[in-house]
Chains A and B, each alone.
Chain A
Amino acid sequence: MTEQAPILILLFPFLTAIFVALLGAKVPAASWPLTIASLGASICATLTTLIQVLENGTIRYYVGGWAPPFGIELRIDGLNALVAVTVATVAFLGAIYSKDRVESETENKGPQYYALYLLLAAGLLGIVITGDAFNLYVLLEIAALTSYALLAMGNKRATLAAFKYLIMGTIGASFYLLGVGYLYIKTGSLNMVDIQEQLIANGLQDSSTVQVAFIMITVGLWVKMAFFPLHAWLPNSYAFGPTTSSSIMAPLVTKVMIYVMVRMVLTVFGPVYAFEVLDWGNIVVWLAVIAILAGSIGALAQKDLRKMLTFLIIAEVGYMVGGVWLVDETGMTGAIYHIISDAFMTLCVFLFAGIVFAKTGARDIYAVDGLFKKMPITMIGFIVGAFSLIGIPPTAGFFSKWYLIQGGINSGNWEYVIALLISSLVNAVLFFRIIEIAYFGKKPAEGHIHHHGDDHTKISEAPITQLIPLLGTAAIILLIGIFNKDLVAVIQDFLEPFNLVAGIR
């Protein structure tokens, strides 16, 4: 059974999605328990895989028994295993949160919602564990198509945003597909490891075709991960979609795309090619600096709570892209660490924003007015997430930022270090403002409060299905922070063969 764990990660949510879609019309009430059960099983499969990877090293699972490079391979090493656990856990927690909210936010489309949700989870998990570049494209589109539908279930603005996302997402995925095509021309392979071997064996480092492939894939992924100048689709779609949809998509979609970029840079093209032959490092780090600053400034300008958080995602994407391109082992460790910690802290604050929206019906940040007294437990969960985004120890955000800054210093990219510090300050301003409003009940001088006049005296603690995921996420953030040494050890074990330190300019 355990040797089948890699494929089970994918099969549980995928098959349950079909089942939920078929059963949903007859027994809508069964959708939620089935979703929870299958995602729970998927978490078990990812944990089994992680333990196996830690014990025996990389797992290579041949789908259908066809050996690579002809067959599709699931290839799981330290990096995938960690990201897969993260994705499964975030999807599980988001599914618990969905229970009370789905019916009211998606016009009674519960079963359809859960079926799409499971397909999205299956697509994202598939992207993480596959070892085949074309298979990754198909899974990318599975994840993307379900995202469009999940977002379009929201209000009027969300529908338009979902349409724009569809156009942008298709452009991004198509560029990725073109890049894979150019790689195929030169290497004749679609298996990630085999591509790398062919590139080295045939001395294709100077080939302009491979360079075109690299540019196409990188730009395509940047569109999908909302890297700053290509971010336009993200804020509106995540801010106006149903809170249940954005609480899985905001933490996962961009982070999984960053994982794919790391995978492309390290495994497919190889660090020597990506960092030394092309030598884009400095330019991309500067782009990341711009992304971080633009995201932070954008967040400062927002009054809408969820929209503010979406701009923080754009800044965080800048952190990770910059971290990858610092060309430094510590920076890369920080970027991978940040993929995991950022997934949980984004989930935490989005769950909070969802709970506030559910309770008060208001979108702007003054909706949190006086919530400390009314829902203290919810606020505690939120504060952990907020502290992590600011970077206060012992939360996960502190340690991942620590490694990123350390990497910036090691490689001499001071602009990146300064941008990270500025962004942390901005996060502090943003979140302490919310905490202040929630604690002291500070109201704006005029306006803004007309949505919640009398009725907000009735607000009480959030229901248990919303508290469990929020507090669970908060606990995970603390755990990731406290056990940072173990996590970093796993990441550095994975990075060791790539020899990043030796290749630094």
Chain B
Amino acid sequence: MVAIEALADKFNYWVYIVIMMIGLYAMVSKNNLIKKLIGMSVFQTAIILFYVSIGYKDEATIPILYHDQVHGAHHAEEGDHSDEGAHHDETHAMEAIAKEATHHGNDHAVDADHAEVDEHEADHVIDAHVMHNESDHAFEAGHGGLDIDPNQFENPLVHVLMLTAIVVGVATLGVGLAITQKLYGEFGTIEEHEIIEQLRTGND
């Protein structure tokens, strides 16, 4: 039972290791160059799974703030606090952000430009909490008096990192396929042992 619990608890991480090893096996032991490249893609995809798993939280939502939501939150703040809608979590966060916006010396409704600026600030604050969340830091009232619970938002940073890693992976695959094509042009085969055989027998 302990083993099953350990497996279920860290399921993503187990799966990523299994997928990665499948990829590694294909890269190292397959003879066909295209199969090697497929193995490489599998290998890189496993890493993407790993990173995305880092950012995952139960019951969390995406950390995107819309302009009208910020306005809505601001109005909600001025009105009553009994908003029990489906998006209560976001509204809660927006409220805090709206407070921050007014805190910056603007007592009027938050105009579009300010919302823009404060979105960035809010992102940072969320990041800061998300970051410390993993290292056993108890959640405290945020920087600048903000009160956002990081557990309600997924960590966006790892997704951004993986967008970059996907681009890198595609580029690597492209170069790999180009080299394979050149090899096929030169040797007429994409089986590695046949290429090595030709190099051994031929006097290039």
Contacts and interface: CB of A to CB of B under 8 A. Distances in A.
Interface residues of B, number: 42
Contacts of A186: 134-135
Contacts of A198: 135
B72 interface: no
B62 to A, nearest CB: 19
A138 interface: yes
Contact of A188 (B40, B135, B196): B135
B44 interface: yes
Interface string A29-57: 00000000000000000000000000000
Interface in A226-262: none
B183 A188 contact: no
Interface stretch (B1-9, B107-115, B172-180): B172-180
Interface in A47-104: 69-70
Given A141-B168, A160-B195, A184-B158, A70 B135 contact: no
Contacts of B124: 70
A339 to B, nearest CB: 26
A208 interface: no
Given A149-B175, A159-B182, A185-B134, A170 B40 contact: yes
Contact of A167 (B36, B51, B161, B183): B36
A156 B179 contact: no
Contacts of B47: 174, 177-178, 181
B199 A166 contact: no
Contacts of B130: 188
Contacts of B196: 160
B171 interface: yes
A269 to B, nearest CB: 16
Contact of A159 (B24, B44, B51, B183): B183
Contacts of A357: none
A202 B136 contact: yes
Interface in B92-141: 124, 127, 130-137
A405 interface: no
Interface residues of A, number: 34
A184 B175 CA distance: 29
Given A70-B127, A160-B183, A166 B176 contact: yes
A152 B40 contact: no
A185 B171 contact: no
Main secondary structure of the interface of B (DSSP, over half): helix
A174 B43 contact: yes
Contacts, number: 91
Contact of B172 (A145, A157, A181): A145
A177 B20 CA distance: 13
Contacts of A170: 27, 40, 43-44, 172
Contacts of B66: none
Contacts of A177: 47, 165
A187 interface: yes
B40 A167 contact: yes
A162 interface: yes
Main secondary structure of the interface of A (DSSP, over half): helix
A171 B172 contact: no
A138 B175 contact: no
Contacts of A137: 165, 168
Interface in A158-204: 159-160, 162-163, 166-167, 170-171, 174, 177-178, 181, 184-189, 198, 202, 204
Interface string A486-504: 0000000000000000000
B179 A145 contact: no
B33 interface: yes
Contacts of A69: 131
Contact of B134 (A157, A162, A188): A188
A400 B187 CA distance: 45
A25 B48 CA distance: 37
B179 A163 contact: yes
A155 interface: yes
A178 B21 CA distance: 14
Contact of B175 (A166, A171, A185, A187): A166
A178 B24 CA distance: 14
Nearest to B39: A167
A148 interface: yes
Contacts of B182: 152, 159
A181 B204 contact: no
A210 B131 CA distance: 16
B43 A171 contact: yes
Interface of B: 24, 27, 33, 36, 40, 43-44, 47, 50-51, 54, 124, 127, 130-137, 158, 161, 164-165, 168, 171-172, 175-176, 178-180, 182-183, 186-187, 192, 195-196, 199, 204
24 contacts: A141-B171, A145-B172, A148-B176, A152-B178, A156-B187, A156-B199, A157-B199, A157-B204, A159-B179, A160-B199, A162-B179, A163-B176, A166-B172, A167-B27, A170-B40, A170-B43, A174-B43, A174-B47, A181-B51, A181-B54, A184-B54, A186-B134, A187-B131, A198-B135
Closest 4 CB pairs between A and B? A188-B131, A202-B135, A141-B168, A163-B179
